[in-house]
Structure formats: C-alpha cells, structure tokens
Structure 1
Amino acid sequence: MTDHTNTDRIRGFNDSFRRNLVTGGTVLLTPGVTSLEPDRLAELLDAVRKFDNFTRDNDPHGGHGFGSTELYGSRYFFKIDYYDQSGTAASPEPADPTITHRVMTIMRADEY
C-alpha cells in the first residue's frame, strides 16, 4: 500500500471511531472530563463526534487523530493513539485494523 492509501485508511478508521465512540477502539476520559456534569459531558462528546475542523496545523499527517474544541470557556483535546492488540506496544501498522487497537483520550487542554 502507498503512504497516501495508508493515510486514507487511517483517516477513515479514525473518523468512524470518533463519530460513534463505541466501535473501533477504546475511549478514555481524564478526570477533568469525568468531573463534568452529565449534560456538559454529553455536549463535549457530541462536539468530538461532530468535529471536522482538521487543518495542517492540527492534523499535519492527515489522519484525523487529534482535535480541539471549546465548551463553556474551557478548551478540550481528543487524541487517538494506535496500539497493538495486546495494548502493550505501538501498532506496527495503524492502517490495519486487524492488528491495531485505537485508544482515544479526551481531556481538558490543561491536562495535556
């Protein structure tokens, strides 16, 4: 596969995972996120699902693996990392879902 094809596949898997937050990986929430009131947490998760403001600055490799949003005066980040199926090492090929487990961390910017 070419690098362009791999980037397209990675972006597709990341977008699918981010949009549903259920299938395709695991979502981790930091203490700053879990301390939100339920309604605000739901708004934040919805903002992550709908995020589409990917630019060269926040997405230099084109994989849609990082983004930021603001909610009620606080900035939040999401970041997708790629692990092997055991979760103990980096995935050797993030474009291959049979060997990659995605982990998205959603955090307040000051927790980064």
Structure 2
Amino acid sequence: MATAEIAVALPALVLVTVLALWAVAVASTHLACVDAARAGSRAAARGESLDAVRAVVARSAPRGATVTVERGPDSVQVTVSTTVRPPALSGLPPLSVQAHAKAETEPGAQPE
C-alpha cells in the first residue's frame, strides 16, 4: 500500500522541486539585472560614454541581456532585460525579467 502512495507522490515532489529551483533561477537573474542596471545608471550619470556604460552593464548582467540607455537633460535611465528559460520538458513558458535604474546626472558631467 505504501508503494502506491509513493508512486503517486513522487512525481508531484519532483515537479515542486523543479518549480522551486526555477523560481530561484528567476530571482537570481532578476537580482543580476538590478545590479547591472544600477551600475550602468551610475556610470551614465557620471557622463561616461555609451560604450563605457554598456561595458559596465555587461560585466554584471546575465548572458544575452539587452541594455537600453536613455539620457535626458537631468537624468539617465538604464533598462536591462533578459529571458529566463524554464527547465527542459516542464511545459512552462519562458519568463521575461526586467530591471530599471534611474539616476540624476551629476553636476558638470558631460555625456560623450
């Protein structure tokens, strides 16, 4: 009798474990995007060139992330986004993760 109950419970336990691990991967990717966006907005606020800002973001962004830098007269905004693929054969859709960071342009900073 216990064998039948284990046979029913084991797939559910595996599914819950896979979902929990995927949730940790999504959270970790989101934190990496947030860190990258913050670092990029600080660099852009200092007046660094667009290439330098992208290099700063690329150091901490997840692989394959897209970066958008918007410069205004008083502030800069950096957006980092990527897609997190679910575990194979789980049947779940990929999730899009985004992070935005905005910073005021420092006095005397000349955007290149």
**Which structure: larger Rg?**
2
TM-score, with length taken from structure 2: 0.28
TM-score, with length taken from structure 1: 0.28
